[in-house]
A and B are shown apart, each in its own frame.
Chain A
Amino acid sequence: MTITDTYYLVLAAVIFTIGAVGVLIRRNVLVMFMCIELMLNAVNLSFVAFAHQLNDVRGQALVFFTLVVAAAEVAVGLAIIVAIFRRRRGATADDVRMLRG
């Protein structure tokens, strides 16, 4: 059987949903971050599938920018988590529900 691009799109959809549900049900901020990475990866996968399907390499160039944004997001996000952890003794979303130091 041949694997068409729709297979990749469906797989990306499932991974994206798992990531989205993970963000909603987990309370550890680090794991929530990993779930966001999952969602970004699912979108990257669909970008590449479309690039292949449409025979246009610009989709792959866009994945490049997603990677850069993801790296910047992780750097800043982890710095924020470290800052939160220094003020409160936990790293769960409940620890920052007051949104003040």
Chain B
Amino acid sequence: MTAVIFFVFAALALAGALGVVLARNPVHSALFLVVTLVSVAVFFVQQQAHLLAAVQVIVYAGAIVVLFLFVIMLLGVDRQESLHDPIAHQRTAAVALGVIVLAEVLFLAGHRWATGQHATGRFVLRGGNLALGTNVVRVARVLFTDFLWPFEITAGLLVIAVVGSVVLARRSGQPVEILDADLADQVVDDGAEAAP
């Protein structure tokens, strides 16, 4: 049963990942991304990470993808991108590099030494053992003891991100000198077309 679920959702996750890369339309890419994210959430459930599965669906599939779709719609870039390649053979080189990266990462994944030190002896921390309490309790205990300082830093990070995005996305006070060149050309063209 576990194996069936794994292979079904692994196929879905891979199909979604390929869809993100191959879909010509950004909206389709975002929807394929949701497929992959939900499949990864299923894997989290299978790995006893129930809290993370919930957070994955709520934060990733719920918030981040919606943010992507908002921006796609806001900018109106839901049109297909051209296949013109400004740098010669860029795609070929990218795929070749990807094959090399895949070989390297698979080599790492298949080796025991990549898994590092086992959590025994003094490395077992308060609440660090999977046998104690529910998943939420264990993650919370680790988060608020061992990772308290990083946790506090994330608060600062989020504040910086919010302030930064507001500053970046805000329209500046003066009438933007947005490449008046481009825009003016466009306006003139439109006018010329409309006039006759």
Instruction: Give the interface of A toward B (CB within 8 A).
Output: 1-3, 5-22, 24-28, 30-31, 33-35, 37-38, 41, 44-46, 48-58, 60-61, 63-65, 67-76, 78-83, 85-92, 94
Q: Does B178 contact A (CB under 8 A)?
A: yes
Contact B17 A78 (CB under 8 A): no
Q: How large is the interface on B (under 10, 10 to 19, 20 to 34, 35 or more residues)?
A: 35 or more
Q: A84 CA to B101 CA in the complex, in Å?
A: 31
Contact B64 A74 (CB under 8 A): yes
Contact B128 A87 (CB under 8 A): no
- Return 22 A-B CB contacts under 8 Å, by A number: A2-B2, A13-B108, A15-B14, A19-B17, A31-B29, A34-B20, A34-B33, A41-B40, A41-B60, A44-B56, A45-B43, A54-B115, A54-B118, A57-B127, A57-B128, A64-B52, A69-B157, A75-B165, A78-B71, A79-B164, A80-B168, A87-B179
The 3 closest A-B pairs by CB, nearest first: A24-B94, A72-B161, A21-B98
Q: A34 CA to B17 CA in the complex, in Å?
A: 10
